[in-house]
Amino acid sequence: MANKVVILATSLLFLSCSRPQTASEGDSDKCCFKVDEKTKQIIDSDGKARLFHGVNIVFKSFPFHPNNGSTFDPEYSLNEEDIQFLSDNGFNVVRFYVAWPGVEPVKDQYNSTYLDVIEDFVNKLGKKGIYSILDCHQDLWSRKFCGEGAPDYAALYENRSIKPLPFPELFPQLSPFKVDPATGYPYPKDCQKHSFFTYYFSDAVGKSVQSLFDNEQDIQERFGLFWGKVAQKFSSNPYVLGYELLNEPWAGDIYSHIDQTEPSVADKKNLQPLYSKLHNAIRQYDTEHIIFFEPTVIFTSLPDKKFSSTGLTEGPGGPDYNDRQVYSYHMYCIIMDSMGQPSNAFLCDLLDEDLFNIRMSDLQKLSTGGFMTEWGAYTALSPGSAAMSDALELMKLADSHLQSWSYWQYKGYGDFTTQSDTDEGLYYKNGTVQAEKLKLLSRTYAHAVSGRFLNTSFDQVTSKFSLTFEADTSVKSTTDCLIYLNEKLYYPNGYNVIVHPNASMKVFKAPNQVTLNFTSDAIDGQAIMVTIDLN
């Protein structure tokens, strides 16, 4: 390990030719989204190719969901005002936490009321054209280890040391952190003395995660039962984009199994069997929604080679389900300051490009769709900063590879594992919006096209947007191209829309939206180019 670097990889308006429709009216309420096996692009029930820009909404502690009352709160709420804000700024997806301890707070006792609350959020978001990836989030596996994710009964090694580096197995005299008698968990102030990621190298976390992979005390079956409950609840919900099996899975007990420090080994040995079992648990109730799956969170890079590719050889359901599974990956720069922020623009850009290329090669290997479900976690962005450079580079890479994304995260939601004092969201604690961050995220992009995306780009400085897609006139929809743009932030004095071939589409403008319809079936298979620029 001495010569390795370990890093965390971490509304709409639909128009017919005669009248406009709102997002909630125009979006299909038919289930479900799929992956086009030829293009690897996500398609909706009408057959339109889709791109998604959104945010994470992860409330890590009890009650495991945001406040849904009428009062807006810059840290904790997700109410009608929040949902309207997300819709107004062009977001069409959220990666939403559905907690295992929320569903099963005590072993064999399931909380249907909790799932009802999650369903209410999903439906309210969906009616505004915002779809949900239901994410089983975890960091460090358990609150007992300064993280979250699994119910208490699944934390089998709570009496092992959770001290971070240096390696705790070499220092048996180090004891676990003191426990708060009111909660049964370590004191947050003790936990926050170190970056949360260092605790992955503790004996307790490694052995507890390994207990999942090894199915000690039938934990895999218990985890599968959790996912079965979720799938049973949401199997016919048209606003669910899919289920994400496990956030940032750790490699397991890397001290007893040193080979698992190599991600290709940990992926194949530990994750692939687990994912197959979880796939089967979900498919008992839901054969249609997409399953999202991640590689191991540990990445190694020797001086003489690039970052390692995944060891997964196929998606959770095998090749027969390639139209219903998406490879989920995270992008964070390792070159960071004490607040977890990118600190060297040049090096971060190089690392981002290298790792992104690895992820794209993974997609080819797995033959599935792809989605950057986490990136960001920036404090307030400022022009010219290393963090802004990193963000712009990731947006450029996502566009060039036609990848959807969800920023980490919308609000702090009391995130006790963050290094950035919860300013990673879109609001300051006083309730004002972080303007530079919002402008970065509320960028011009195409939500949907009747056909397949060929390329897209957006220049945040000049506001120029470009899109090329291959027309498919067999897709029957009220609109053939839908583009979101934030007029206030990018086009305060108006904008021009140029289409080539210029007679191929009718163009309609509405507040923050451009929609286009084919003029003739004769353009089937043609490349349609759309440019939006300042007046």
| DSSP assignment letter at 463 | -
Predicted local distance difference test score (pLDDT) of residue 240:
98
Beta-bridged to residue 327, according to DSSP, are 293, 370
Non-local (6+) Cβ contacts of 213 within 8 A are: 252, 269, 270, 271, 273, 274
**Rounded mean pLDDT for each run of 10 residues along the chain, 535 residues in total:** 32 29 49 96 97 98 96 97 98 98 98 98 98 98 96 94 69 71 91 88 94 98 98 98 98 94 94 98 98 87 60 97 98 88 93 94 97 95 95 98 98 85 87 97 98 98 98 94 98 98 96 97 96 96
Strands (E), 174-289: 240-244
CA distances 69 to 66, 82, 102, Å, are 9, 11, 19
- Which pLDDT value is given to residue 382? 92
Report phi then psi at 13, rounded to 5: -135, 120
Coil, strand or helix: which one is 129? coil
| pLDDT of the residue at 170 | 58
Look at residue 188 in the predicted model and tell me its pLDDT.
87
The CA angle 517-523-529, to the nearest 5 degrees, is 65
Question: Which residues touch 101 (CB under 8 Å, ≥6 apart)?
Answer: 62, 64, 150, 151, 152
For residue 467, the Cα-to-chain-centroid distance in whole angstroms is 24
The answer to pTM > 0.85 is yes
Point out the residues that are catalytic: 248
